[in-house]
Amino acid sequence: MENTPQIELTSVHKYYNQGQENEVHALKDVNLSIARQEIVCLRGPSGSGKTTLLCLIGCVFGPSSGRAAVGGKQLQRMPDEFLTKYRRETIGFIFQHFNILPHLSVEKNVALPLLPLGISPREQKSRVGVLLERFGIEHRKNFKASQISGGELQRVAIARALINDPPIILADEPTAHLDSRRSHELMEYLVSLRQDGKTIILTSHDPLVTEHAGVDRIVDVQDGCIVSGSR
C-alpha cells in the first residue's frame, strides 16, 4: 500500500467549454504521480493551468480525457454527484482568500464540510473544538468570521480543511495575500500536517513556499504541460 501513489494522472487533458467557440485546452497530456505524505508545490506563470490541475486532483471535475486516480479511485467519466461525494470525504481545501463566510461564527465555518456528511451537531461541536484548540483559536469560536484577525482567519481556514480528516490537503496560492511572517507561519502549519499522514499539494510562485524546506518536490507547469517534476 505504501508504494501505490496517492495521486496518479496519466495522459490527462482538460478542456474548458469543450466544443464551443471559447474552448480552452487548459491541461495537455499531463502525467503526474504523487505519493502518500508527499508535499508537492505546483509552480508556473499565470494561466499555465495550476489551479486547473489542483481542481482535477481535488475531484472538482474529472479529466476530459486520460486517466486520473485520486486516493485509489478512478475519476474519469464519473458524474458530478459522485465527484462531490468523493471530494467531501477525501479532500481538504485551503483557498487563496480562505473563503471563510463572514456572517457565520468561526465554529460554524469550520463545521461546514461536516454538514453534507450528515454528522450530528454534537459530533460537529466536539470535532471543531479539538481543532480550534490545536490551533489556539478556541476562544474565538463564537466570534463572527468578520471580526477576527488575519492570522486567526488562516488558522480557521486550515481547521476547516482538516475537519473531515481528509487524506489529501490542497492549497491554491495560500500565501498570495499574506505578508512574509504570516506566509511563513502558514507554511509551518501546513508542513506539520505531514505528521498526520496528509498528502499536501500547493500552488505558488512565492519563493517562501517553493523554497521552503518542508516541500519535497516542485512541479513546473507551463502552458498546460508539466515541464519538470512529474516523476
Which residues of this protein are in contact with ligand ATP, per CB under 6 A? 16-17, 24, 26, 44, 46-52
Q: Which does 122 bind (CB under 5 to 8 A by kind): other proteins, ligand ATP, Mg ion, none?
A: none
Q: Which does 44 bind (CB under 5 to 8 A by kind): ligand ATP, other proteins, Mg ion, none?
A: ligand ATP
Kindly tell me which of 107 and 173 has the beta carbon lying closer to Mg ion: 173
Kindly tell me which of 47 and 150 has the beta carbon lying closer to ligand ATP: 47
Q: Least separation, in Å, of the C-beta of 222 and ligand ATP?
A: 10
Distance from the Cα of residue 44 to its chain's centroid: 17
Q: Which does 175 bind (CB under 5 to 8 A by kind): ligand ATP, Mg ion, other proteins, none?
A: none
Q: Least separation, in Å, of the C-beta of 51 and Mg ion?
A: 3
Kindly tell me which of 165 and 223 has the beta carbon lying closer to ligand ATP: 223
Kindly tell me which of 49 and 174 has the beta carbon lying closer to ligand ATP: 49
Positions touching other proteins (CB under 8 A) are 51, 54-55, 60-61, 80-81, 84-85, 87-89, 93, 95-96, 99, 101, 103-104, 108, 112-121, 160, 164, 172
